[in-house]
Every structure is written in C-alpha cells, then in structure tokens.
Structure 1
Amino acid sequence: MKKILLFILCVVLLENNLSATVIKGYVLDAKNKEPLIGAVVYDQNNMKVNDVVGMDGSFKLNNVNEGSHDLIFKYIGYEIKEKNIYVALNHKVVHMTVFLEPKGLSLAQVDVVAQQNTESNAYAIHKERTAENVENILSAKSIQLSPDITVANVLSRMPGVTVQRTANSGEGQYAIIRGMDKRYNYTLVDGIKIPSPDDKNRYVPMDIFPAELISNLVVIKALTPDMEGDAIGGAMDLILKDAPPSFLFTANLSVGYNQLFFDRPFYQFDHQAVHLKSPAEMYGADYPAKVSDFTINNLKFQRVRALPNFNGGLSIGDRFFHKKLGVIVAVSNQTSYSGSNDFFATPRAKPNVDNMPGFEYMTTRYYSTQNNRLGIHNKNDFVIDKNNRIVLYNAYFQLNKYISRNSVETALGTGVGNVITKDRSQTQLESIYNTTLQGFHTLFPSLSFDWSAVYSKAWANNPDDVQLQYNSTIINAPTLQGLTHKWSHNTDQDLAGYLNVYWKPKFDGSTPEFQFGGMFRHKSRNNYYNEYSLTPELINNEPQSFTTIDSAKFVFQGYNANLGSPVNQNDYSVIENVVAYYGEVKYTLDKLNVLAGVRMEQTDLHYSTPMPVSFVGRTGSQIYSDILPGIHLRYALARNQNLRFSYFTSISRPGYFEVIPYLVSGEYFDEEGNPYLKRSKAQNLDFRYELFPSSSEQILAGFFYKQIKDPIEYSLVQDLGPSSLQLKPQNFGTALNYGFEFVFLKYFKNFGISGNYTFTKSRITTYKSSYQRNASGDLVTDSVLVTRPMQGQAENIANLSFLYKNLRWGLKMQLAFVYTGKYISQVSGYYGLDYWSMPYTTMDFSFDQRLTKEGKLHIFGKARNILNAAAITRIFRPNSYLTGTYQLPDQNSPNSVVVQKEIYKPSYLIGVRYSF
C-alpha cells in the first residue's frame, strides 16, 4: 500500500514540475467547443517544448524561453493550425484558447461509412445525455481500467447499485439497484432478456459474465413501454462487442494471487470423482441404492498451495465483401482461487425471553473456492442494402465453482465443550446460452420495422453436494454422525419473438414518431432434486469412532432410505407464457422531448410436481394481466444541460420455485414455498438534472420515488409447528422506496475525480412475533406491527475514484473506493432480531501502461480489497455475549451482537495486452 501511494506521489510531483515561464490553454473543436483530447501542441523552433492535450482539453508548455515562438496544433481529422506568440521576459504564465476546424472534403461523389467508437467514455456519456429515459452507462474503456474482471464487481461502481457478495469468496454475485432486492431487476444481453440458472429465482447471477466482453454496461432505471415491464429496481443491459469497421485483434494474459492463501492452505478435492448423476438418475427412480454407489473421494481434502489465478482473453474481427459482412469473435477464460475465513453464531429456533438473541453454537468456517469462468461471444451483421440489415449473435457463458468448506461448531454454555465438525464439498456448474437473429428493414422513409427471434437457455447442475459430520467433546474422541449426498439440477429455456414498427408521418411540418409492437415468450423450466442420508454403522452396538473418511462405514437406516427422495415437492416443472403489446409516441416540441405510451402484459404460468393427487398444491397456476403506462420528458435547458422527468408502472413476478409448495432442508432454517404469493406492482417517479461540461465530463443529480404494492420478502414463520422456524417468501402490504442520486466526473488536465453517491430510504410495515412474559409471568408469543427498511436496502452508497491519464506517457491509473452502508441482510420473524450487514468499504488500485510508442502493447495491474475489509453482520440488541460462558468472538459493543464476520484478504493481478 505504501509503495502504491509513493508511486502516485512521484507521478504528481513530475506532473507539476513547473518552469519559470509556461504557456497554457485549451484546444477545442471550433464548432461544438468540445475538447480535442490527445491533440499535439509543439514549438516549431524547439521541438522539446511540446505537450499532448489532456482529458479536459488543456495543454501546458514548460521551459518556454523569451522571444518569438511558432506553435503548431495538430489533431487527426482537423486542419493544422499555427499561432505565433511572443513571450516577454517578465511573463510567468501565458494563457490561450485555440479552436481547430475539421478538415473538409470536396468530391463529385463520395460514399461515407462512419462508425463511432462505441467503447469510449465520450460515447457512453453521449448516450446518457441523449437517452429517452433515465440510465447510467459505463464504457469498455472504463471497465478495462477498473480493478474488476467480472460484471458483478463492475456493477458495484455504478450509481445506486450495491452488490451482494458470496460467503465463500467475497466476490460480487447479485446486483441490488436503488435499494431494491435482486428480485426486482432483470438482465438483458444486447437488449434481449435472458433466463437464469438460479434454481429458485428469476434473477441472474452477474458473476457469470467476464467483464472484458462488454462494450457498454447500461443500468436502466426508468422503463419505457417498449421494454419488458417486470423490473421495479431497474434493468441491466450488457452490450457486447460489435464487429469493427476494419481488422481488429486484441489479446491479453494475466496472472495473480489471493493473499488469503499466503496465510493458510487451500483445501482441494478431486473434481473428477464427483458423480454427475444420482443413483436414481442412473438406474431408475425405484432403484435401491447401495453404499458402494456413493464415492467418498470428494471428501478427501488435500491441503495445498493454491495455484496462481489465470485470465486470458482474445478478440478478433473484421469486415468482408466490400464491408457488407461484419464478424467478431471474443473469448474470455478465467480461473481463480479464492476463499474466506468465517465466524458465524448459529441461532436457536426461538429467541430468549424478551426477544433477546439466543445461540446454540459458535461456528468457524474455512472456504476454498476454485472458479472457472468462460465467455464466448460471436456477432455477425450483414448489410443487404441500405434498407435491410440482418444480425446474428451467439453468446455462451459458463461458471464452474468447486467449493470446499470445513466448519467447526462449538456448543455454547454446555460445560462439556460439544464440538460438531462438518466437511462439505460442492460442485456448482452454471451456464447461459443465447442466440438471436434480428432484422432491420426500411419500407419507406417514414416506415420501418425490426424483429428478433430468440432462443435462450440457462442451466445449473449441483451434483453430489456431500457433507460429512462428526462430533466430539473435550474428553471424548470424535464419533461419526452422518453423511448426506444431494443432487439437484435445473433448466430454464426461452423461445421468444419481438416485433417493433416505427412510423414517422409529417403533420404541419412536425414529425412525431409512433412506435408499436409486441413480444411472445414461451418459457419452460424444470427442476430435479434428490437427497440420500446415510447413517454410521454401529460397531459392537457402540457409536462409530471417526478417524478418516476411508475407515468410516455407513448404512441406510429407515424405510426406503436407500431410495433417496424420488418423489418430493422440490421436483417441479413450470410452463410460462408471456404475451405483451405496446404503443408509444415520441414528439419534440422546441426543447422538450416527450415519450409517452402504454404496455400490456399477460402472464400465464402453470406448474406441476410429482406429488400424490392428495397433496395440497400438487399443481397450480397463476394467470394475470397488467396495464403499464409510462411517460418520459427531457427538456434541454442548453446544449449540454437536461432536465428529466419519468413516470412508469412496473411489476415483479415471484420466482418460479417460490410459488411451488416446496420444502428444502437448509443449513440453519428449512425453506418452504408459498403458492399464494402474488406479484408486486409499483408506481415509479424520477426527476434528474444533467450537466455535461464536455464530452468526457458530467454532473447528474436526481430524485426517485417508488410505491410498491405486495413487495416480496423472506421471513421466518412457524408453519410446521411451534418449535420449528422456516424461511418463507411472503407479500407485505405496501412499501415505499425513495432517495437521491448524485454523479460527477471532472478532469484537471491529466488528473480526474469521479464519484457517485446515492441516499435511499425505504419503509415497509409487517407483523413480527414478540416472545415475552405476560403480566402473569407466563411465556407468550404475540404479534406486533413493525416498520423497517426493505431487505437489502442500504441507506448510503458511495463510489469515489481518483484518476490519472497521461496520454504522452501512455499511463492510466485509478485509485477507487466503494462504500456500502448497513442494510438488512436477513429479515427475522421476531421483533428486533433482523440481521444487519454493517458498512463495508473497499479500496482498489489499477494501472495500465503503454509499452510501445504505437500503443499496441500494454502492461496492466489490478489490486482489490487493499484495506482487507471484513464483512460483518450484527443484531442490534443488548449484547450478553461479551464475556462469560456464552462469550462470542469479535464482540466490541454492549448494544449489538456480531453474529458473522467474513475475511477475504486482498488479491492481485498483473498482465499484458496486445492489440492490432
């Protein structure tokens, strides 16, 4: 860390090495007054006196001697300009502003084919300024410089977005937009909604996407009628790389390491030993499994030194047949080793009297995770003629996780030191595939249309999730307890069609644009689940001692235990058809742009399970229609200033698995479904002021307000008995979510500062249980109304980045901070016992240095979590666990209890990039 700060200080000192006399000023486009970043300025009589125009359009010439100087200003595509200036002896600073004129062409006939650099920061800011709705965009250039290699982590740097981390590695996984839980957003790839490999829900895990395949990352916060309406928080659109205007070749290779494994070994199991199918899948549902059908090799953990992380990427593209056919293929392959050291207090099913938190065990967990991430993207576009174009793109994303976990649970207050040890190995295989064929056609100058035919499929396989348990005390050796093997897999397949028609008639000199269209999606989703429980064999009618997994002996105990769970409500099939129609009109009246319209969506969902006919909820359906109006206004105060107002209505459908009456055994609480769960509906308002001082700078400030009817959250309930708690999704009345966003990006020559801040408040009122003594001294459980923030909503979110971009040296650096305020990570069924994730601050550093003059070869580096931030979870109740028999670790407050602490350690990456 000290070396990084010293390096930055040296750069600053070199940058500000002032001479006695300087000439400074700006080089701007003569027409739009935009800075010409990268223009060259030099003294024709002394070539050592030169500079490259910085990010704010400024330049500075040092060591300027007294006398006359012929200054030359050059920029590609602009006329060269020469200015003569005289510097007197007593002049310390000379100021000037120079305007360059674009070069002109005078030809009898010319065909012009132009393509913007869609991966630049200037393009992203331009798209934000001209967008019809409220959105934020991050360009490929910004992503390239960021310390992140996955889309999930990149999202954490965007305004109003927090990212939910995985416990096994601390890496970002799910996005929360404006404090709205991940269920309230959806994911697009090139504007097409994609299915999810998640086994229960609709939302997509964002860590499956490599960041380097992205051309622009768009967070859409106000839906227009032509967009699918099931997002209350917002939508994320991953714009993948387009075919280039000419030959393109880029390749990168990098290696790195996680500091966690400098301090402890990596726990590894044999991935090849995992049986991909359960005995019931291999031999039939009525097959009586034998103990020999199950491998134990995935429980043989080796303590090894983790291999270095490896990342590689390749992009190649060109245009053929007189530029009519464009092709690009991009590949990213990432292998990383990560983990966490975790403390967790295992709660009792029922709290202590007066809703005081009660815990059974103090648990320490050690995770070791190997991630293999693959992304392949191919896009082809063919220009038939000036009125017709066809696009075909294919994308495949894969994330394989191999997770080893060792946990030790120590009983609290027993006096004999009961210890439960659990060894677990998990294999999680996730994939998403999408292929889309699109056509863009112009029939008349006033009439055009486009269409899309889509096939998408997401699938996940969690084969042989195996856990071994053995117990011991201070005075007794470990005894073998049990062994469980679980298999689950699911598929989510979409067949969809889209049609959009555009009509621009002329009325009295004005040209409104009418747009209408529709979509149809047929979704089929299937889930498989099977679990086998094996019991230790008694040795001479005594519990079996545990030494190693090789010597452990198991049997099936109980009726049909060797069949696993061939018929259970966790197996299900869902068919969902969504039909949507919309109409909207766009109109410009002087400085006011109006987009208004309405969307109608009809949802028809049917599910079935293999349960007996007598089972309540064996099959079911949800059929409903929604009318979703919206209006978006943009008023141009000036060329570079906007006022925006948006109103739209939207919905959020329950997860597929949530409406199935399932029951899954969880680690601490069982989970059950809710067939009576309803969709959430929302009214959404946005107001934003926008200022764009230049093509690379912006200031955005806005307010948002959301009223959500029937929001969905998980809560603990007692459906299965007074001594048992289950997590269950439920609707909770009406909720409010509102706040303020501020975004800024400003450059000072080569230095820049970028940041955003979001303040969010939400309010939801629900019933909770209160466990206490009544006036007679009897223990009773009452219901009380409680108002609290929505689950996952952080009141304060902030990002701050210090940038340095020296075009002369070819050096870019970024020191970035991300702050996420406290939020409810788990809603409790009891008053005052919600789990709160505490404020979390990370600091990251990255750099990119050009190695060759022509800029083809670069070296880059990334350092994440430099401050070694720990993720801490608390219950805000008086703390009786500071000392004594029930003492818990890491307690530092009498007013709150630390129930979880996760440590991930910093990680580092360095590599090279070549482009041609």
Structure 2
Amino acid sequence: MIDSGSRFGVRGAARLSLNASTGAIAASLLFVATSQAAFAQVGTDPSLTPNVETASKKVAEENPDDIIVSGLRSAIAASITEKRLSNQIVESISSEDIGKLPDNSIADSIARLPGVTAQRVDGRSQAVSIRGFGPDFSTTLLNGREQTTVGDNRGVEYDQFPSELISQVVIYKTPSAALVGAGMSGTVDLRTIRPLEYGKQAIAVNARGEWLSLGALNSGSKDTGYRVSGLYVDQFMDNTLGIAVGIAHMESPTQIERFNAWGYPNYDATNIIIGGAKPYVTSTELKRTGVVGTLEYTPNDNFTTVGDVYWSKFDDSQILRGIEFPLQWSSASLAPGYTAAGGRITSGTFNGVKGVVRNDANARDATNLALGWNAKFQKDGWMAFTDVSYSHVTRNDTILESYSGTGPAGSGPYDSLGFTTNSNSTTSFNPSINYADANLIKLTSPQGWGSDVIPGGQVGYVNYPTIDDELFAWRTGFERDLNMGFLKSVSFGFNYADRTKSLTQDEYFLGLKNGALSQPIPTGSLLAPTELAFLGVPGMVSYDPIALVNGGTYNLVRNPNADVLTKGWSVSEQVMTGYLQFNIDSQIGANTLTGNVGVQVINTNQRSNGEAASGTPAFTSNNVTGGAEYTYALPSLNLALRTPEQFVARFGLSKQMARARLDQMRASINFSYNPALAGSTDPEFSPWGGSGGNPALRPWIANAVDVSFEKYFGPVAYVAVAGFYKNLDTYIYDQQVLYNFTGFPVSSGPAPVLNVGYVTIPTNGNGGEMYGVEFSGTLPFNKFASALDGFGLLGNFSITESNIQPDPNNPKSPIPGLSKYVGNATLYFEKQGFQARVSVSYRSEFLGEVAGFGNARTFRTVDPETLVDAQIGYEFQAGSKFAGLSILLQGQNLSNEPFVTYQAGDTTQVIDNQNFGRRFLFGIGYKFGMNK
C-alpha cells in the first residue's frame, strides 16, 4: 500500500504540475479517458485509498521542474496520479476548480468514465449504469456514507445533487473488505470539500443562464432558466479549524416533443398497424436548492473530527398536453385506400376516431437531508475512528390526467384522421376536427374509461404517491501498523445500518359534479392553444388541470381496486457488517506490490408490511408481513504490481452482493379466489392465486475477477486496458411459487379445502455471466510537438457481453441497462486561461426502465445514442485587473439526439420518440481568496 493510511480526509488539490518532457504515446490509441482514484473517505476505513495530497507530493518529488497549471489539465493530472497509486480499480472525476465539475450535471460527468453510461429521463441524465448493470446493482454514497433515495427503489437520481457542491466523484469497480455498502457493479461515492485539507481561503461564486432551442412549447412554460452558486472555504485558529459552506440554486426548464404509440397489432396476415397514439408536448421546470456545510477540527496530529450536513429541496413541475388517438385498438375503422410497405400500413385514414384531448400535469416535491459526524484518533501505530450518520428523504408526487373531447363516449362528432408513417418511424396526423376550438371541446370522457366506477366514464385521474426513506448508520473501525514482511497494516471494524422506506399510493378517479357527462371548460382556466405541429396537429385546447382540481370542478372518487391497495409497501432493513482487512506493501526485486486482502461478513434482517387485497373493487384488505434473516461472507483480494518503467498490473478477486429492489421486497399481494375450485386438493387447481412481492428475497450474489494493465508516461498521459468477469450465483425474476393463504378471507362460496396456491412473485433463480473489456487513456498532443502544447484527447471504449436471462420463462432478453458498446472521447485545448472542448458520448441499444401505463415502471429497448457537447471559456489570469473572473459558453446535445424506444426488437415499431432539442448555457464566475 502506498501511504494510504496516513491521512483520513479529502485533500483538495486544485493544482498539479505538468511535465513537458515525458515520452510519446502510441499513435494507435483511439480512445482515451480520465479516471482518478479516491480521496480518502470520511466515514470509511482510511486504508481504503491514498489521497490527492499524497499524489500531489509524489508528482512533485518525481517532477521538480514542472509547470503549475489549473483547470481541466490539472484535473486530468490528478486523476492519472491517483489511478496509478490506487490499489483498487477505480474511476473518478474531480472539480476543475472550486465549485466547478467538468459538466453541467453529476450524471453527465460520471457517464464519461470507462464502462459507465447514463439514461436520460425528461431530457436530463439521471440514472447511471456501471459495466452493463442497471442502477439497482450499484450503490451511491455521500462522503463514504450510504444514502436514502428519492426514487421508488435504491437507485439514486443524480439530478438531486448540485454539481457545484461536489468536489469529486469516485467509482470503485472492485470492492475491498473495508468498503462498506459496496454494490455489485460498482460503488459511486460523491465527495464534498474538506476545508483544512484544501488549505487556503477561497470564495467562489458562479452564475449561468440557459436557453432551449425548442422554445416554450406549452402556454405559461419557459425556455430560459438560470443557476447560481456560492462556496466559501476558510481556516482559523492556526489552521486547526476549517469551515466550508456552499449553496446552489437552479431553475431549469426542459421542453420535449414526444411521439408515443400504444403499440402495433396485426392488421392482416402480412401487415402491422398503429394501435393508437399519444403525441405530446411536455414542459418541465426543475427548481432545486442545495446546501452543504462542513466543520473540520484538527487540534493536533493525533486527532481529527469532521461534521457534515447536506440538504436539498427539489421541485419538479411538468405540464403535458396532447391528443390521445385510439385507432386500431378502438371502434375506429381503417378506410379503404390505405398504403402498405415493408409489412406495415404506412398511410391511410381512420374513420370514427374519438380523440381524447389530454391536459396532464406532474409535480414532485422532495426534500433530502444527510447528516454525518466523524472522529479519528491515531497514535503509536494505532488508528481508531467512529462515524455516525443520518439520512432522510421525503417525496410527494402529483400525477394528474385530465380528459376532454367532442362529447361523451358513444356520441359525436367523430374525426376522420389521416396518418402517415415518417422517415423516423413515428406517425404524423391530419385531423378533420379543430381540437383548438373551446366551443367544441368539453370536459368529458370521450372513451368511457372508468365507467365501472363513474357512470359515463372518468374525466381524469389523479395519483398522489408519497415516499418516506430514513437511514441511520453507525460505524467504528481500527487500523494497526504491522510492518511484518509484506503485511503493512491490519484494518478491522463494524458497521450498523437501520433503514426504513415506504411507498403510499393515494389514487382517485375524476368525475364531473352532479353526475354530468360533459361540461364546458371553465373560461377562467383556458389558456392559449398548444401546437402539436411537429406531428401535424395544428393545435389543441389548453387549460390548467391543477387549477380545476383545486378549484372544485371535479369530484374525486377514491380508486377502490385491489391493485391500488397492493402497490403500497414498507420495507425495513437492519444490516450489521463486520470486516477484517490486511493491507499489503512489499518489494519484489525492483517492483512494488501493494494491495489488500480481507473479508466482510454481513448479517441482514429484513421485514416488509403491505396489503393483501382482492377484487375490482377490492372486497377485503388484510395487513400482511414477512421477511428473512441471512448472513453472507464476502471475501476480497486486490493486488497492484508497479514496475520502475511505470507499468501497473492489477488483479482483483471478490464475492459481490447487491440487495433486491425494494418494490420487489414488498409483502403486498393481490390475490384471487375461485369458489368453483373450493373442493380441489391439488395445488395445480387451487382456488387461490395472485401476484405480489417477496419480503424473503435474497440479494444478487456474484463471484468476480478483475484485471487491469496500465502504462504511464509521466503525470499526464497513460494507456490502460481492463477486463472483468462476473458469475452470478443468482438472479431475481418472477416465478410461480406456492403461497400459504391461511387466514385469508373468502369472497364468496364455500370454504376451501386447500389453503395454498400459486402466486407470481420475484424469486431468486439461476444467474449467469457478465464480462467485458475497457480501453482508456489520455493523450496530450505536446508529446508530438511543443507547438501543440495545450491540446489533448481523452476518452474510453468498452465492450460488455452477458448470457444472463432475466426471465427463463420467456424468450431471452438483455438485462436492464446493458449497452454492449460504450464510448466517450473529448478533444480539448487549455492554455493561458483559454479553454475549449468537444465531447462525444456513444452507447449502443439497451433495455431501459421507463414510465409506462399509469406511470408504472416498465422496460423497453432504447435506441443507440450519440450525444455531442461542447464548451469554450476564458479565465482572466494573474496580473489582470479582472483576475479571478471567468466566462463560459456551453452547448448540450448539439447533435439533437432523440430518446427513442421500440418494441419486439423491431426498430420500426417506435413506442417513444422524445426530442429534447439543444441546450445552451452562458456563465460567469469569480473566485478570490488567499493562501494561509
């Protein structure tokens, strides 16, 4: 190990030196990348990784004639040094300067690392996949501590965290015994600044304005936004007390043109046809305020204590306006004279179309609080630390649908709707009705949906899901210097975590007052018509649906059906982790071998509460509980062999674990009872059945082998190839298993002879294999000619394969989040304050988790994506009267890449085509301070 246990905290090395005299890189390098190992964690064992100050000193010793730089090249230099010194296989990005990550969002920055991708949600990079595994297989930490999450499961939505307040993001691709809370695909650790280790006073303020190329698509929406931030770092009492305080606020809009298809049924023996469509324009506005604070006290060389607080308020409002056209899957009929090509009806006219004019709205209000306190004492070869943390998330959503049309179901007027398949496999329309006429379009139920609950049908629907997630953790650990041959030290410790997360569903059908089947839209709620011209519809009636709900226009009728009751759940976990790790540091001839070997023992006690309900409407509801207790031992080995020629070879061997999704662990069950089978004694013909969750689920478990070969050419250039292989002992998929229905009520008929029956629930089954290779490196062009100083290229390329079959009962399909090919490249220039870069990111098709019917999560194939971003900027240098001032211009999604999903493995059967347009940002920043 390379001095990794000497400090416990984050060294804010904002500058590293560059050596202009290092050797050339092979010209065959196609992709190069930035990746850096971790700052030593607060809240984890300090033997885990070396820190940036150690790396900086190492570079300075090796390169005494270096030129000092800052910004992007400094971040690259730090990343390379830390990668070289790390004992594990890690990737990371760090701030180019105080309060400035390389990208506009954390997820965008993470997605540029080798083997890492991000999925866009509503135009923002949000969910991250590591090495082909979806977000459920990774863990996210904040300053080394596991966090609660805003989403329904464990995966973190990274747009909750302001990039301005994060100093570094580290991804551990291999675990160690001392890394508590590790994921199976990787562990993401978000780091905030440590004021004493930053070592100087600094004040930084930044402001950015943004503009969207699509304009404001909905009445009352915005196509401009802004973000502002400020960060203050200082030291007092002879540099024994440090403070860091930051705040960031943003109001960021997104505009989306969205084509959505119901699906593509067979029209005849040779042709498919669109079953229905739902073209929308969507306008969102994200308002987020984040605050961080750190107080660090080091009265002497033996003792350090740090307190952290992170708080964020997240408000995301969304308006969706469009017309839902029921076509083949409705009473509408295709008129003669249509055209067909390639096994598809490509154009024609549907008669008798009853369009549903949709004015929908979604809103999310989420609050995130994370507190942590850490203390460390070291003396006479011993180090001891303790860490206490608390994390809490509350989330309240509104998911509102509001319907209008020409009249209630069964009455006209009807539309004769022309349609044409476009070159991108979407469909455009030519209506015969003016959907923008407020005298024609009324609040009503054009299709009669929900008529079993509301006579004549519902005129809308509203869902108020809430999430509450709370986590308390306490950890203590020790390290003892050994200096026994190849064993440098031993680390051991204990962690206890108690987490409870619950989801509550509150859903209502919307009906009109006094049983009315239709009524005019209140004039006070009418807005300017919305254009759907991108798909051929000139305009539609627009109004504020939330104002109608709050103003009492509707009757709210609670949804009494069993499926609503069984969506809710509460899951609790008490996890006790003990670990023992030996740290290795040995000379083998002229080479150095470092690493660690150890074992983690994890005991989990999990419980879930939920509802058991049946029927439409539900005739009964019982509280059900369940759970499991289990213990796993997770051994791990990490070795790094370094040669005098700057070669590094790494080897990792480990057993890895990822806990099941929380919604899979719910105890809730939607059951059925068939009185006709009450006398059966054969479980195959039991009167009982149903579906739900499984509170006794065990985690995903994998045996993993990792290797990496790296060649370094001084502090700013390297090439590397890494490979991994994971053999999953188990995989979780839905299966039919026997369930004990003892005590469940009978809806009607005689009592059953059997109290068992088959239910479909998530179950641990056979696993499979995942393996891949990753190429990465950096290439500064001054290695070829001094005239090219300042130019450089960085990037990566990865190939991942899998033979895992998520559901053995159905045809083989890829696991969620897996793109076989992923690549990133950035061409940059940075010198004398000028900076310019162009970045290209590519991922091949993958199975993505998206919002389906009723906002339920579903999986669809996502088309390959190539995203292009660019930025230019200038920072006034020392000696200028504007020193410390910087300006920046950014462009995102310059390739105007849509987000496209399709079904049945057929790229012509497009379900979603979402166009986000381009985003441009202009920013100014100012920093000042003094060395102490």
TM-score by length of 1: 0.72
- Aligned residue for 1:251? 205
User: How far does the alpha carbon of each residue in 1:299-325 deviate from its partner, in whole angstroms, 9 at most, with x for none?
Assistant: xxxx13615211111111111011110
Shift in Å, 1:676: 5.7
Please state how far the C-alpha of 1:490 moved relative to its aligned partner: 1.7
- Give the corresponding residue for 2:437: none
Q: Distance in 2 between matches of 1:815 and 1:534?
A: 49
2:127 matched residue in structure 1: 174
Q: Distance in 2 between matches of 1:657 and 1:377?
A: 31
Preserved contact between residue 119 and residue 139 of structure 1 (Cα < 8 Å): no
- Residues 1:872 and 2:900 aligned together: yes
1:320 to 236, 241, 246: 236
Q: Is the 8 A contact 2:280 2:322 kept in 1?
A: yes
Indicate yes or no: 2:627 matched with 1:627.
no
Q: Which residue of 1 aligns with 2:261?
A: 345
Matches within 5 A, 1:838-877: 838-854=863-879, 855-876=883-904
Distance of 2:385 and 2:63 partners within structure 1: 42
The reply on whether 1:159 has 2:114 as its aligned counterpart is yes
Mapped to 2, the partners of 1:178 and 1:408 lie a distance apart of 39
Q: Secondary structure at the match of 2:643?
A: strand
User: In 2, are the aligned partners of 1:37 and 1:57 still within 8 Å (CA)?
Assistant: no
CA contact (8 A) 2:95 2:102 kept: no
Q: How does 1:562-711 map to 2 (within 5 A)?
A: 568-590=565-587, 591-609=592-610, 618-638=624-644, 640-662=646-668, 673-675=693-695, 677-711=697-731
Q: CA deviation at 1:530?
A: 1.1
Percent identity for Structure 1 against Structure 2: 19
Check if 1:899 corresponds to 2:899.
Answer: no
Offset at residue 874 of structure 1 (A): 2.6
Q: Aligned partners of 2:790 and 2:96: how far apart in 1?
A: 16
Asked whether the equivalents of residues 131 and 800 of structure 2 are also in contact (C-alpha less than 8 Å), the reply is yes
My pick for the range that moved more, 671-680 or 701-710, is 671-680
2:766 alignment counterpart: 733
Which residue of 1 is the match for residue 845 of structure 2? 822
Inter-partner Cα distance in structure 2 for 1:102 and 1:362: 62
Aligned residues: 723
SS of 1:127 mapped into structure 2: helix
Once residues 312 and 236 of structure 2 are traced to their aligned partners in structure 1, the CA distance between those partners, rounded to angstroms, is 27
Aligned residue identity for 2:872: F
Deviation at 1:826, TM superposition (A): 5.8
**Of residues 124, 139, 149 in structure 1, which corresponds to 2:94?**
139
- In the other structure, the counterpart of 1:365 is 280
**Equivalent residue letter for 1:388:** F
* 2:922 aligned to which of 882, 887, 910: 910
How big is the shift at 1:623?
1.6
SS at match of 2:278: strand
Q: Does 1:468 align with 2:468?
A: no
What letter corresponds to residue 831 of structure 2 in structure 1? Answer: N
Deviation at 1:390, TM superposition (A): 0.9
- The Cα offsets for residues 94-118 of structure 1, whole Å up to 9 and x where unpaired, read as xxxx986699xxxxxxxxxxxx999
Counterpart in 2 of 1:190? 143
**One-letter amino acid of the counterpart of residue 578, structure 2:** Y
Matches within 5 A, 1:527-566: 527-537=503-513, 544=519, 561=558
> Is the 1:147–1:846 Cα contact (8 Å) retained in structure 2?
no
Question: Unpaired segments of 5 or more residues in structure 2?
Answer: 1-14, 25-55, 333-350, 407-413, 417-432, 434-439, 446-458, 527-547, 615-619, 671-689, 740-758, 782-788, 853-857
CA deviation after TM superposition for structure 1 residue 546, in Å = 5.8
Write the letter of the residue equivalent to 2:169: L
The residue matched to 1:416 in structure 2 has which SS?
strand
Name the SS of the counterpart of 2:395 in structure 1: strand
Q: Is 1:147–1:844's contact at 8 Å kept on the other side of the alignment? A: no
Contact conserved, 2:665 with 2:697, CA < 8 A, in 1? yes
2-structure distance, mates of 1:362, 1:715: 33
Tell me which amino acid in the other structure corresponds to 1:157.
R
State the shift of 1:257 in Å.
Answer: 0.6
- Aligned residue number for residue 90 of structure 1: none
Residue 9 (structure 1) aligns with: none
Matched residue SS, 1:222: coil
Shift of 1:606: 1.3
Give the match's secondary structure for 2:812.
strand
**TM-score, length of structure 2 as denominator length:** 0.71
Alpha-carbon displacement from aligned partner over 1:587-622 (angstroms, at most 9, x marks no partner): 222122231111011111112236689857711112
Correspondence for 1:743: 776
Q: CA RMSD in A?
A: 3.8
Matched, 1:419 2:416: no
Residue 379 (structure 1) aligned with residue 294 (structure 2): yes
1:676/1:524 Cα in 2 relative to 1: closer, same or farther (>3 Å)? Answer: closer
Per-residue deviation at 1:248? 0.9
1:787 paired residue number: 812
Counterpart CA distance in 1 for 2:112 and 2:862 is 19
Within 2, Cα distance between the matches of 1:492 and 1:402? 22
**Distance in 2, Cα, partners of 1:788 & 1:383:** 54
> Deviation per CA, 1:155-174, whole angstroms, max 9, x where unpaired?
111111111111xx311111
Q: How far apart are 1:896 and its partner, in Å?
A: 3.8
Match of 2:188 among 236, 244, 250: 236
1:330 to 234, 246, 249: 246
Summarize the Cα distance change of 1:54–1:334 in structure 2 as closer, same or farther, 3 Å threshold. Answer: farther
User: Secondary structure, in 3 states, of the residue corresponding to 2:506?
Assistant: strand
Give 1:655 shift.
2.2
- Cα distance change of structure 1 residues 144 and 638 upon mapping to structure 2, 3 Å threshold: farther
Counterpart for residue 377 of structure 2: 441
Structure 2 Cα separation of the partners of residues 429 and 750 of structure 1: 44
Could you say which residue in structure 2 is the equivalent of 1:486? 463
**For residues 399 and 461 of structure 1, what CA distance do their matches in structure 2 show?**
10
Separation in 2, partners of 1:563, 1:412: 29
Instruction: Give SS of 1:225's match.
Output: coil
- For the pair 1:432 / 2:368, whether they are aligned, the reply is yes
Choose the corresponding residue for 1:517, options 489, 493, 502: 493
Task: Work out whether residues 196 and 459 of structure 1, in 8 Å CA contact, stay in contact via their aligned partners in 2.
Answer: no
Q: 2-side partners of 1:190 and 1:847: how far apart?
A: 31
SS across alignment from 1:152: helix
Is this contact kept in 1: 2:254–2:285, CA < 8 A?
yes
| Aligned-partner residue type, residue 247 of structure 1 | Q
The counterpart of 1:497, out of the listed 464, 474, 487, is 474
Higher mean C-alpha displacement, 626-635 vs 307-316:
307-316
- The one-character-per-residue Cα deviations of 1:566-604 (angstroms, maximum 9, x if unpaired) are 993344333210000010101222122231111011111
Structure 1 residue aligned with 2:801: 761
Deviations 1:240-288 (Å, cap 9, x if unpaired)? 1121312211111111111111xxx343xxxxxxxxxxxxxxxxxxxxx
Residues 24-35 of structure 1 aligned to structure 2 (within 5 Å): none
**How far 1:653 sits from its partner (Å)?**
1.2
Q: 2:165 aligns with which of 213, 225, 237?
A: 213
Residue-by-residue CA offset, 1:21-60 (whole Å, 9 max, x unaligned): xxxxxxxxxxxxxxx9889xxxxxxxxxxxxx869799xx
CA contact (8 A) 2:92 2:168 kept: yes
Q: Structure 1 residue 675: deviation in Å?
A: 4.3
Comparing 374-383 and 845-854, the one that deviates more: 845-854
Q: Note closer, same or farther for the CA distance 1:610–1:410 as it changes in structure 2 (3 Å cut).
A: closer
